[in-house]
Structure 1
């Protein structure tokens, strides 16, 4: 009886150890772990480099592509993906406020200046009265676009509003017609409008170079802080060791070099300017 009991203990102990060492279902175990990352569009050049380095640590970074800004945060909140990387901090803050969610930033990625583009003029001084301008229609990017138009001395805004809308335009000396479009449509609308305000990622996807093709580019200074792009996670995963390794791999000197190369210097490694998160 003593031997049988001892054997049972050994078998039970082996079972427990085997169960504990199986990292397939654990988000906190970097070995053989898959991390699903939500992205917008097909421009993953920077992440491709990060992906290769994470593979050496046993982390399989898998992309889940979305086409509209309304999708990746919903997927993250629902647990359909683990992380997303497509938005700036102001966009996330607005999403949380509107939806009552608690998604958080776990790492800064890039500062991607907004640009004004045109197929019809080469300088904003050529913009005629009554010209048509397209801007993104979501609250934060639309407000950011309007602020850019104000910086370019095209309109005046109520400065007391964090995310202004068209109704907050207080001065419009050229009587510009501002049309709001889904962000992914602003590049496609260039042939139909005089100028279009386009997010950097959407511009690159459309074959545009922000530094070379924008006729006016958003200045980068301390006011850029709300528009720093981030990696987002659910609140309960904020300190997840695997996800922090994803941030570490991104925020590296090698990634900074890839950002410089792939964006032609248009995008700026945000962690170097504004810190880890």
Structure 2
């Protein structure tokens, strides 16, 4: 009889423990999964920072690190990821137009000022006639790069409206040659050309310091904020809105400022 009482007590305690656990927060098994496709640096690092906070709110954040600027949007469009975090709005809009996608912005997170780097010169004035400059080959970042070169008076464009290509260059006093390359590959060919304009995430991955190593860099008022994006119709999803709140929190702002020291700037 005594053994039965002990067994009965153990069952009750276990049941109470389970009930208390359910009331104190969702278990890992109960947590809602949220998959976000992201570039490695700084995007996945920022997501890793907010991951513990989301876990407290019952969200199991899965970060799918992608090395390119193509698959994150494809994954969201095809429903294989809930959101992505790697791009600015002009790039997103160009992709939507080209591929008939339905990706929409949910929130601004940060700005990565685009910058120029070189292993051959230390000042832009040292750029020789006939020099070769490498630029990203996607429409939005090519436009952004050409505008940055115009700001340095290296070229003159027909105007500053809309997307730009080499055909929009009306003046090229140094007879610069342009090499268009996939953005991720630009740091790898830096020793093969005179100068390259590189996105900050790829510069950081290549151990380039955007603040210290640049020949020239965009101002902090750049309109190219990197955004959290999702497929149209999912913007108000509860899990995504919780992610927005975490990404746009004072804690995340401090994390970005402390970790990247001006190479990445909060945009909220």
Smaller-chain TM-score bracket? 0.7 to 0.9
Q: Indicate the SS of the match to 1:242.
A: helix
Tell me if the contact between 2:142 and 2:165 (Cα under 8 Å) persists in the aligned partners: yes
SS in 2 for 1:87: strand
Q: CA deviation at 1:99?
A: 1.9
Aligned to 2:265: 268
Match of 2:232 in 1: 235
Show the counterpart of 2:184: 184
After superposition, residues 42-53 of structure 1 pair within 5 angstroms as: 43=42, 44-53=44-53
Q: 1:248 aligns with which of 240, 245, 263?
A: 245
C-alpha contact 1:40 1:68 (8 A) present in aligned 2: yes
- Deviating above 3 A after TM superposition, structure 1's stretches of 4 or more consecutive aligned residues are none
Equivalent residue runs for 1:98-177 within 5 Å: 98-159=98-159, 161-177=161-177
- CA distance in 2 between counterparts of 1:103 and 1:120 reads 40
Partner of 1:257: 254
Contact 1:209–1:263 (CA<8 Å) still a contact in 2? Answer: no
TM-score, normalised relative to structure 2: 0.86
- RMSD, matched Cα: 1.4
Shift of 1:45: 2.2
Structure 2 CA distance for aligned equivalents of residues 237 and 136 of structure 1: 30
- CA gap of 1:115–1:42, structure 2 versus 1, over 3 A, is closer
Shift of 1:42: 5.2
Contact 1:42 1:65 in 2 (8 A): no
Aligned length: 239
TM-score between both structures, scaled by the size of structure 1: 0.83
Unmatched 5+ stretches in structure 2: 1-29
Task: Verify: 1:36 aligned to 2:35, yes or no.
Answer: yes
**Structure 2 Cα separation of the partners of residues 66 and 136 of structure 1:** 17
